[in-house]
Amino acid sequence: MNFDAIIVGGSFAGLSAALYLARARRSVLVLDTGTPRNRFAAASHGFFAKDGSDPKTMLEIMRGQVAAYPTVQLRDLKAVAAARDGGGFRVTLENGEAVTGAKLLLAFGISDILPELPGLAERWGRTVIHCPYCHGYEFSGERLGVLNLSAMSAHQAILIPEWGPTTFYLNGGTIEPDVTAKLHERGVTIEPELVDCLVGDGTSLSAIRLRNGVERPIDALFVGPRNRFNSNIAERLGCAVENGPLGLVVKVDEMKATNVAGVYAAGDITRMGHTITFACADGVMAALAIHHSLMFGG
């Protein structure tokens, strides 16, 4: 079967696109590995009507609703390659099978590259968090910290005092005097010592242990780790990418089209701001562009 659109990635962006294409009565294949970026979080915040919901449950509901449309197929398989095939595309799956489609939407997402700090990985998405707009409110007024990982970390440390008293853990790094002044203006405490590990019961966080043995009490630690694409398909197809502050970004226009004709991209791989709201909106825009392209060519 030749599909109107093949969607590589079945999280919020991919499923939103699939829904709109299905409602346009187009045939759609959604390929997904079942490893969404926010699977480590117990609750998602900031998405209307679902604030505080389990993101895994949200995706299960979305999958069920999309699967109800007869023109949609959902397959739990990874796409390992894609190439031009006549006027469309041939996508090779991990089981060796090949599928074809007229249009291709890349929504395979990104993965965070966490620092190798003892105690951090098991708390990721719970008390070690990235986005204050997604999770900061739940720690309002508590003891907050920011771990220095890149030049963006200082910006994060200047932002976080909106939610509570903040310490910036330089972890042996340095900052410019003007940045230090801005941090002091915001009431941020600066801790220059190297960080040894995180301390707490289970996924809770009670302290940061420094290399000198001192423990600083803390309730939540914000980190801005670098990230990587979950697939190399965009680059292998020749899609233009650019360096963002924390990782690569696929370049798209306002309709989510890449520089490769017939290939669109949506979600976290296309932007620096990452929320479910953005991802769903991206998916909808890509679906509208794909549908118009299927009708009128291009």
Q: For position 151, what pLDDT does the model report?
A: 85
51, burial (CB in 10 Å: exposed 0-12, middle 13-18, buried 19+): exposed
Mean pLDDT along residues 260-280 = 96
Q: How would DSSP label each residue in 128-190?
A: EES-HHHHTGGGTTS-EEEE--SHHHHHHHHHGGGTS-EEEE-TT----HHHHHHHHHTT-EE
Residue whose structure tokens are 């030749």: 2
Q: Please check the confidence at residue 123 and state whether its pLDDT lies above 90.
A: yes
Share of the chain above pLDDT 70, in %: 100
In the chain, the N- to C-terminal Cα span, in Å, equals: 22
**Residues 119 and 197: beta-carbon distance below 8 Å:** yes
**Contact assessment for residue 138 and residue 125, using Cβ atoms and an 8 Å cutoff:** no
What are 253's two structure tokens?
């226009």
Domains along the sequence of the chain with CATH? 2-112+226-296 (3.50.50.60), 115-222 (3.50.50.60)
pLDDT at 101 exceeding the cut of 80: yes
What digits encode the pLDDT tens for the residues 174-193? 999 999 999 999 999 999 99
> Given this model, what pLDDT does residue 273 score?
86
Nearest Cα residue to 172 out of 139, 211, 202: 211
- Both tokens of residue 182? 């801005």
The answer on pLDDT for 2 being more than 80 is yes
Given a cut of 80, is residue 120 above it in pLDDT? yes
Give 223's contacts (C-beta < 8 A, 6+ positions apart).
Answer: 114, 115, 120, 128, 129, 130, 146, 147, 149, 153
pLDDT 10s digits, 150-172: 889 999 999 999 999 999 999 99
156 sits in the region (left: phi over 0; alpha: psi -120 to 50; else beta) called: alpha
Q: Mapping DSSP to helix (H, G, I), strand (E, B) and coil, where does residue 259 land?
A: coil
Q: How confident is the model at residue 121 (pLDDT cuts 50, 70, 90)?
A: very high
Q: Above pLDDT 90, what percent of the chain?
A: 94
**Residue 22, phi then psi, degrees to nearest 5:** -65, -40
